[in-house]
Structure 1
Amino acid sequence: MSNFSIGEALVTALEKRGVTHVFGIPGVHTVELYRGLNGSGIRHITPRHEQGAGFMADGYCRASGKPGVAFTITGPGLTNILTPMGQALADSIPLLVISSTNEARYLKKGLGHLHELPDQKALVEQVAGFSAQIEESRDLYPALDEAFRRLETGRPGPVHIQVPLDVFGQVFQDQASTCPKSSAPLPDQTLIAQAAEHLSKARNPVLIAGGGAKEAENSLRLLAEKLDAPVVQTINARGLLHDHPLRIPASPSLRAVQELLAGADLVLAIGTELGPTDFDIYNTGRLPRFNRLIRIDIDGDQPSRCTAELKIQASAKQAIPALTDALPSSCHVDNRNGGATKAASVISTARAELSPAYLEMVEMIETIRDHLPGSVIVGDSTQPIYAANLFYGHDNSRGWFNSSVGFGTLGYAIPAAIGAAFAEADKQIICITGDGGAQFTLPELMTATEHQLPITFMIWNNSGYQEIADAMRQQDIPPVGCDPAPPDFSLIAQACRIPYEQIKASCPDLKDYLDRRKGQKGPALLEIKP
């Protein structure tokens, strides 16, 4: 190890911590990292823009359950990846960004060096829960240990490590690397016992599952069945308990779901921040009312942001089994709550709240799910995704995610779908993006071509930002700036060497297309005209 540079040692340390994929664009400011990659077991994927690197790492993480890792250069490379970091922060996605920075002796001096920022670390700290600078060999392992501790425990999110140019190439001084395994805080057993007592006495309980419940699907099922309680799913929880009679794959912003929550005598919220992009998507200023609320969340600060009778800091993976075990065995005997009947009624009423146009879009996505079971559907901020976020149940817990809420970025779906394809090599990946959002990251199509990834890129082409235009009209504002001309997507596909078809937005046409796609390898581009 003594002949290694710090850059090489960093890559070796990542490999020891289980990193298998890195997304990044090499530059003269990161060459020492790439010296370390050569000959390592880490696969490097080159996007066409650093924003793409961040979104690919995000999609890889959501599909695999492992932290996503991205490399970027100083200055513009880092500023380009800030938007993906913002999305990861909003959606609690563990993302590690490693960047260079200018030579340590020149930092914060404004001397006009290439890629210089006044204070790069301070900038990235706005979208990262942790940022460390490596000054010398002895800083490397502690920084990585703390980064992975934050990635693997507590509320996950983006973290950052930067290395000055004059430090990257320094000879690494051997040190012991323990790669300590981090562990999440155990739930307070007194609070678990109190929560179990409250739930055992509730006559009409309801569960809310957020993205934090994804790691505890089997435990969540057992708890719901023991309580006979309907399970409302936030957007990031879709796919949990697929087709289970207690699950409600409908937005808590819909009136039917809000009435269910208001009528519950006790609500148990698991792994959700109860934020407005799930619970008040129409921006009415009225969040759901809870008669009594118990919260389970890995983030110690999160439960205190909403009035709750009990606040349990723990992961869903640890808290739900403990809570289920603490419930009296008689809880499940009398089936007192009629949970399945209530769930079915809410599902029917919530679906009826969708507009005819939104209902058609939901049916389109249900067609994809039913024709390609077990697939991964990655979405952008576009009308079909808005519709399905209101009402849609996917068939696997890591198969539905998008950027239309939380930070709400555009341009997410194409690179995130590529990241998901590297994580799930044997699954069909479906990317759903609008013609406007697609134009943010169209160059990343070549990454899919280069690696012959099994992605169907579906572009919903309504010739502009129609959802924004509709919002303007609703507020008596004549639409302005909402009609950017889309390119000829057939020529884009041809340039990227991707098979292309165009269909009308109808389920029969889509079924025919999906049947033709079965068994075909590599990417394809489907343009859908509303």
Structure 2
Amino acid sequence: MPEKIYQRLLALLEAENITTLFGIPDPSFFHLFNTASDRGWRVIAPHHEQAGAFMAEAMWRMTGTPGVVVGNQGPGVANLLPAAINAAKENAPIIFIGGQRAQIAARRVKRGRIQYTPQYRYFEEAMKYTAVIEYPEQTDEIIHEAFRQALSGKPGPVYIDIPMNTMQADCDLPPPQAPEDYRLLHQPAAASAIDQAVSLINRALRPILLVGQGAFTARAHQSLAALAETLQCPVIHTYPISSFLPGCEERTFPCGFSPAGSQAVSDSDLVIAIGTEIGEPVQHGVGGHWQKNDAQRKWIYIERDANAFGVNRKIHVPLLGDLRDVVPQLTAQISAKPRTSYVEELIAIHRQHKKDYLQKAPKDLTPMHPGRLMIAATQAMPKDAVLVRDGGATSIYTWTYAQVEPRDSIWNQNFGHLGTGLPYALGAQLTINDDRRVVLISGDSAFLFHTSELETAVRKNLPVICIVACDYAWGVEVRGYRGMLGEGTAETEAHWGQQLRLDKIAEGYGAHGEFVTCEQDIAPAMQRALTSGKPAVIQIPVDGTANARDVPGHEEYSTWYNDFWY
């Protein structure tokens, strides 16, 4: 039976288990949006396409399923481009779909074509795949190739242009194929490589798991926890306060930001690296804390991209495959080896480190020290909350002073794109519905990027809690400015004034607002926000000097940039 291409597009996406669409309505997509709603899809219209793409990215982070976002011809597509670059750096398999004028516009010699540009060309550098569906009969093959490219090897975004004449065209095609009929779904490692890895693991005295963002976006928490339980070894985060594996919370340490993590790294004789690029945040596995014992330490690396092996350091056993397949292969063949005393020693060191840091956040500052905010706010969070972070100094304070070990933690760690926090929070809340709550902790400069999405949260009944640390300045950039040039009056030092009331802005959108100046008032404000059942903003002024000067772990953080200028 004939159908329209916009109907076919929805059917192809449904075959990939996708039923959420982000985008702002426009003639290119009116029929697509209405039909999607009729089919039971969630159609989310943000106030900015960039924010919609970040929401789609957060849904991928929480589900392992690609997100889909559309942009209308010309300006709408242009608004997607920054988020597309970000998705490329974050290795996020987002499907970007651009509306376009009828294809005849691309072939005309005439000048002055309103809203027409060769849009796909702007995306080519960042995308794993770009295409234009010029003819209706190309739809299936191009959509299939888009998913094949986005999800094969290292994940990444794709871009597809759909001209309006194609979108409205008729087609008569057989039922959509299942994903396993056109792309690789499973990628276990070779048996011989598994045998080599098992041999190294069984001989190791002090192995560690080095776990990066990819391990969590793969939604492999349970299988990774089973491997960690069998090994009874420390788990090292490539970044502090990433997601925690169930049952491994106490023996999980950040590399370089805790003496326990540093000791575990230096003492290790085997590293099993999973879901990480082994990049600058871990000194490429060769510098800093990794230098000690490097000649004796062996490396096992689970990676989907064959081109990644041996780039930053030597890998003794490369395991080419999807970690969702490879980790169970390993776990099934290794034997438990108790390492209780050593791990308990590390746990005690880490506990003392966290206790010592609590003393570094004075209680007598007005406005309050950022560390006190993080302590009180994270203590008041629901224990099963999804933690989202945004901002420079605020993110660093959070990973140092947080009193939680979240199962799901989201932040823009590879690209450092400010303004992702609120959209990420909304995307995450969409995935968990009312079962859990999302808590965003953000700096004010980052939060101000997309405050209009508070209206989206209200309209879609997404009860995210936004805790905003306000120094009324550019936070960590003030430290950098002063470090390079001394005190000054550059824009980094400019205070936009304490008349800024984000709680009142929230109330104007129909959300719940709180303004808190005392540490002891944070928990009651959090409880009121949770009880309201609404999206909420809790604005908390913090001491600007401490926010810039006392950024914890800055010395370690700065080692990531040793070759920044080269």
TM surpasses 0.5: yes
> Cα distance, 1:393 vs. partner?
7.1
Call closer, same or farther: CA 1:40–1:111 in 2, change over 3 Å: farther
How far apart, in 1, do the equivalents of 2:418 and 2:240 lie?
18
2:547 matched residue in structure 1: none
DSSP 3-state at the match of 1:304? coil
SS at match of 2:485: coil
Query: Cα–Cα, structure 1 residues 82 and 344, in superposed 2: closer, same or farther, change >3 Å?
Result: farther
Is the aligned partner of 1:374 residue 2:373?
A: no
How many angstroms apart in 1 are the aligned matches of 2:273 and 2:112? 51
Equivalent position to 1:364, from 376, 379, 384: 376
Contact residue 213 and residue 237 of structure 1 kept, 8 A: no
Provide the rounded CA distance (Å) in 2 between the counterparts of 1:471 and 1:9: 52
Alignment of 1:305-316 (within 5 A): 305-307=311-313, 308-316=315-323
Aligned to 2:65: 66
Runs of 4+ in 1 over 6 A off after TM superposition: none
How far 1:200 moved relative to its partner? Answer: 1.1
What SS does the aligned partner of 2:245 have? coil
Tell me what 2:267 maps to: 263
Q: Which residue of 1 aligns with 2:511?
A: 498
Give the TM-score normalised by structure 2: 0.83
CA distance change for structure 1 residues 393 and 115 in 2, over 3 Å: closer, same or farther? farther
Partner of residue 409 from structure 1, selected from 398, 408, 417: 417
Gaps of 5+ in 2: 362-368, 543-566
SS of residue paired to 1:135: coil
Deviations 1:150-182 (A, max 9, x none): 444433222222112332222123244213224
Alignment-mate amino acid for residue 428 of structure 2: A
Alpha-carbon spacing, 1:212–1:252, altered in 2? closer, same or farther (3 Å): farther
Structure 1 residues 394, 216: CA separation in 2 closer, same or farther (over 3 Å shift)? farther
Contact 1:238 1:393 in 2 (8 A): no
Matched, 1:115 2:143: no
Q: What is the CA–CA distance in structure 1 between the aligned matches of 2:518 and 2:61, rounded to whole Å?
A: 28
Asked whether 1:511 is paired with 2:518, we answer: no
Change beyond 3 A, Cα 1:191–1:344: farther
Q: 1:319 aligns with which of 326, 330, 345?
A: 326
Q: 1:222 to 1:171 in 2, by over 3 A?
A: closer
The CA distance in 1 between the partners of 2:67 and 2:240, in whole Å, is 17
Aligned residue number for residue 244 of structure 1: 248
> Residue 309 of structure 1: CA displacement?
1.4
Equivalent in the alignment of 2:27: 28
Kindly tell me: are residues 512 and 20 of structure 1, through their superposed partners in 2, closer, same or farther at Cα, counting changes over 3 Å? same
Contact 1:83–1:409 under 8 Å retained in 2: no
CA contact (8 A) 2:238 2:254 kept: yes
CA distance in 1, matches of 2:516, 2:246: 29
1:195 to 2:197 alignment: yes
CA RMSD after TM alignment = 2.8
Partner letter of residue 394 of structure 2? P
Instruction: Note closer, same or farther for the CA distance 1:195–1:361 as it changes in structure 2 (3 Å cut).
Output: farther
8 Å Cα contact 1:52/1:415 also seen in 2: yes
- In structure 2, C-alpha distance between the alignment counterparts of 1:389 and 1:252, rounded to whole Å: 12
Deviates more, 1:78-87 or 1:446-455: 78-87
Residues matched between the structures, number: 517
Residue matched to 1:178 = 177
8 Å Cα contact 2:513/2:537 also seen in 1 = yes
1:374 alignment partner, SS class: coil
Q: Given that residues 64 and 424 in structure 1 are in contact (C-alpha distance below 8 angstroms), is that contact kept between their aligned partners in structure 2?
A: no
User: Aligned equivalents of 2:70 and 2:64: distance in 1?
Assistant: 19
- 1:241·1:247 contact (CA, 8 Å) conserved in 2? no
User: 1:351 & 1:86 partners in 2: Cα distance?
Assistant: 40
- Separation in 2, partners of 1:84, 1:110: 32
- Distance of 2:227 and 2:15 partners within structure 1: 37
Task: Specify the code of the residue in structure 1 equivalent to 2:509.
Answer: C
Aligned-partner Cα distance in 1 for 2:86–2:226: 32
Alignment of 1:460-479 (within 5 A): 460-479=469-488
Contact 1:250–1:392 (8 Å) recurs in 2: no
Of residues 272, 279, 283 in structure 1, which corresponds to 2:282? 279
Alignment of 1:403-442 (within 5 A): 403=412, 405-426=413-434, 427-442=436-451
Inter-partner Cα distance in structure 1 for 2:150 and 2:452? 30
1:116 counterpart letter in structure 2? Y
Cα distance per residue 1:195-248 (max 9 Å; x no partner): 111111112211111122233323323322333311112348823235636632
76 and 60 in structure 1: CA distance in 2 versus 1, 3 angstrom threshold: same
User: For 1:401-434, what per-residue CA distance to the aligned partner results, in whole angstroms no more than 9, with x for missing partners?
Assistant: 112x211111111122112221111121212222
Change (3 A) 1:323 1:524: same
- Closer, same or farther in 2 for the Cα pair 1:347/1:147, shift >3 Å? farther
Shift of the 505–70 alpha-carbon distance from structure 1 to 2, 3 Å rule, reads farther
Counterpart-to-counterpart distance in 2, 1:359 and 1:237: 15
In the alignment, structure 1 residue 296 sits paired with structure 2 residue 302? yes
1:69-108 residue pairs with structure 2 within 5 A?
A: 69-107=68-106
TM-score normalised by the chain length of structure 1: 0.89
Please list every run of 5 or more consecutive structure 1 residues that lacks an aligned counterpart in the other structure.
none
Q: State the identity as a percent.
A: 24
- The answer as to whether partners of 2:133 and 2:162 remain within 8 angstroms in 1 is yes
Provide closer, same or farther for how the CA distance between residues 88 and 242 of structure 1 changes in structure 2, counting only shifts above 3 A. Answer: same
Q: Is the 8 A contact 1:374 1:395 kept in 2?
A: no
Letter in 1 for 2:167: F
Aligned to 2:169, what secondary structure does the other structure show? coil
Q: 1:260 to 1:452 in 2, by over 3 A?
A: same
Q: 1:212–1:433: structure 2 CA closer, same or farther, 3 Å change rule?
A: same
| Deviation readout 1:314-353 (Å, 9 max, x if unpaired) | 22221122112222x3x42x53872332344245447757
CA contact (8 A) 1:206 1:230 kept: yes
Q: 2:491 aligns with which of 481, 484, 497?
A: 481
Give a deviation string over 1:60-89, Cα, whole Å, max 9, x none: 222333321111112221221222223322
- Residue 435 of structure 1: CA displacement? 1.6
